[in-house]
Structure 1
Amino acid sequence: MKQEPLKIPQATTKRLPLYYRFIQNFSNAGKKRVSSQELSEAMKIDSATIRRDFSHFGALGKKGYGYDVQHLLAFFRQTLDQDEETNVALIGVGSLGTAFLKYNFHKNHNTRIVVAFDTSATEDGMMLSDIPVFEPSKLEEKIQEYGIELVILTVPSRAAQEVTDRLMTTSVKGILNFTPVRLTVPDSIRVHTIDLSVELQTLIYFIKQDEETFTHNS
């Protein structure tokens, strides 16, 4: 009988890469075991939240002992498919896109940008930060050629849905959307939107709330 996949809360899922990163740090520092309190202090996440997150995956630690660092490292590597590299395409090489190309992700993660698209590209393509950049007209062709399933979208807002419509005809399964546009996609494609202006406004709101709370309690 096929085992049902674990139903993990979305908030927990978003923290998994962070756990993996900090556990790597503990491993690199030579730590053999770590407590939820030590993770809490390093990550600035409540220890009860960490224990609750870990509980979704069964017994990852032992009471009075904590967590074995190498066991956690192997667990999260497998859970996050860190041993399998994922090729990513970048669409839109403006200021933000250029920053992505210069950073690239494979230095610290299992993902790497292998191809990019921009209207500024020459007919035969060009190289930026050792990444080939092609005209948008070659989008479908190159996505197939490079076996792309994940895309970072940093195009102007007016072009976002049009580009997404073209991606629907390809093998792409996920879009990391850095435009403010709420993209319309089929259920077969997952979209994560990061709207920087909304994030900034949210941060400003919380800062003001903190200031009001501090003033009220003073």
Structure 2
Amino acid sequence: MKEETQRVPQATSKRLPLYYRFIQKLANEGKERISSQELSEAMKIDSATIRRDFSYFGALGKKGYGYDVRRLLEFFRKTLDQDEAVNLALVGVGSLGNAFMKYNFEKNHNTRIVVAFDPNAAEEGTMSNGIPIFRPELLEEKLPDFGVQMAVLTVPARAAQDMTDRLAALGVKGILNFAPVRLNVPEGVRVHSIDLSIEMQALIYAIRNDEKNSQTSI
């Protein structure tokens, strides 16, 4: 994502791809303009939150008119660097890693997995879904050949910090971490962690809380 003139909160940054995906859908449907209230109702995001998010990037809309869909689409495409491909490394080709390789981000986003590392790979390397897979001990030798900027980490918790240290030392600037452990990284490296068990527990809590509120209102 390109650097902005003012610091954008992380919560806003995480919503930008959601806005882009939805605006892209509107453009494909031929819609020319939309208000923050219409966006709010369609995306289930408070309209005040949408206006605040958009305000970090200047005057994206006009009072009484709303937002021009094509202008928003072009803005988010440039802001999220959708025209510039980002090469990813996948570290850990287990069940989750295999799913990523079969999906590959390039089909729907501007990112693509170009190389993977897994301890079960053949010593000379192997190919899967058009992606070369090497053993982790070859990381320092092979990774520089692929112009990798980011990595997806799907390794056991015990191996996550060591792999993170090695990736950071090789110049990787962003890590999407699926290992259930908090990672320490040097300044200039960003980590976004996704703990599937926590997400599931949060979903269960939300469902049960909705059920309780529904029973209370009867």
TM-score for the superposition, normalised by structure 2? 0.94
Structure 1 residue 138: Cα displacement: 1.3
- Cα distance between partner residues in 1 of 2:34 and 2:134: 47
Ranges in structure 1 where 5+ consecutive residues have no aligned partner: none
The answer (yes or no) to whether the contact 2:4–2:57 under 8 Å persists in 1 is no
Question: In structure 2, what is the Cα distance between the partners aligned to 1:100 and 1:179?
Answer: 15
* Cα deviation digits, residues 140-190 of structure 1 (max 9, x gap): 222211111200000111211121122232010111000101112112211
For 1:114, the equivalent position in structure 2 comes to 114
Q: Match for 1:71: what amino acid?
A: R
Task: Indicate the residue corresponding to 1:124 in structure 2.
Answer: 124
In structure 1, the partner of 2:54 is 54
1:194 maps to 194
Residue 4 of structure 1 and its aligned partner are, at CA, apart by 7.5
Q: Distance in 2 between matches of 1:6 and 1:135?
A: 42
What is the CA RMSD across the aligned residues, in angstroms?
Answer: 1.5
Could you tell me which residue of structure 1 aligns to residue 165 of structure 2? Answer: 165
TM-score (structure 1 length as normaliser):
0.94
Alpha-carbon distance between aligned partners in 1 of 2:105 and 2:42, rounded to the nearest angstrom: 23
CA shift, 1:211, in A, is: 2.1
C-alpha distance in 2 between matches for 1:68 and 1:93: 43
Residue ranges of structure 2 left out of the alignment (5+ in a row):
none
Moved more, 72-81 or 204-213: 204-213
Q: Indicate the residue corresponding to 2:90 in structure 1.
A: 90
Sequence identity (%)? 67
Deviation at 1:107, TM superposition (A): 1.2
Q: How many residues are aligned here?
A: 216
1:105 is aligned to 2:101: no
Query: Structure 1 residue 7 and structure 2 residue 7: aligned?
Result: yes
**Do 2:125 and 2:133's aligned partners in 1 also have CA atoms closer than 8 Å?**
yes
Contact 2:150–2:175 (Cα < 8 Å) also in 1: yes
1:42 shift after superposition: 2.5
